[in-house]
Structure 1
Amino acid sequence: MGLLPLEFSDCLSDSPYFRENIHAHERELENTSQQIKSMIKECKDLLAAARTLSKAQRNFSSTLMRFKFECIGNTQTDDEVVIAASLKEFGKLISAIEDERDRMLERAYDQFILPLETF
């Protein structure tokens, strides 16, 4: 149900109807304010979780890039060389993705949370 419009000419008579209507508008404003605060909190929690995920992804990327097979004999087999190179390349891709995620997270506060807090 929508709110009834406030007729400011009714404020002169200060009727119980007008007062109840004002209280309904105040309750709705308070409800909206609480929802915005909840949205801000959830967004901050989400950004914190994204930063934690990014850190874990970077650690995994680093592990992939440092991966080396232990050789039996003097040299690695062709398959071992290919696998190690593939893991290193995959680690670089993950790192590039995390660089973009960091840029997105840096802007998220200024472009989403700050306007909500200002509102």
Structure 2
Amino acid sequence: MKKTLLKVVPVIALGILPIGFGANIASASTHQNIQKGVVSKVETHPTLYKGIDSSNITYYHAVMDLQDYLNVAGYKTAVDGIFGSKTQNQVKAFQAAHNLKTDGIVGPKTWAALEANLK
């Protein structure tokens, strides 16, 4: 029984491991590319706003991408994955400077303007 269990547990762990780490690795490379000013493809982004649930890994990485984009555009903010007051203030400043609705909500138009700054 012990030998069988030792064979089954690693197989199960290997089957689960790539799923948990795959999204993080892909997002980490996106994060690194943004810092370098390189974006290889157009990506869709969720709408973000102050207080969005950063415990959701998708939103956490999207907020980190947003914060990277803001930093590249000259609107300095910490890259911590949390959409708080400081990030919101920088989003509003960016929106105002780019003739966008200054609501602090990062939707398709704000994402497009941020991505245009990366090129």
Q: State if a TM-score over 0.5 links the two structures.
A: no
- Greater relative contact order: 1 or 2 (C-alpha under 8 angstroms, separation 6 or more)? 1
Higher helix share: 1
TM-score, length-normalised on structure 1? Answer: 0.29
Q: Which has the larger radius of gyration?
A: 1
TM-score, length-normalised on structure 2? Answer: 0.29
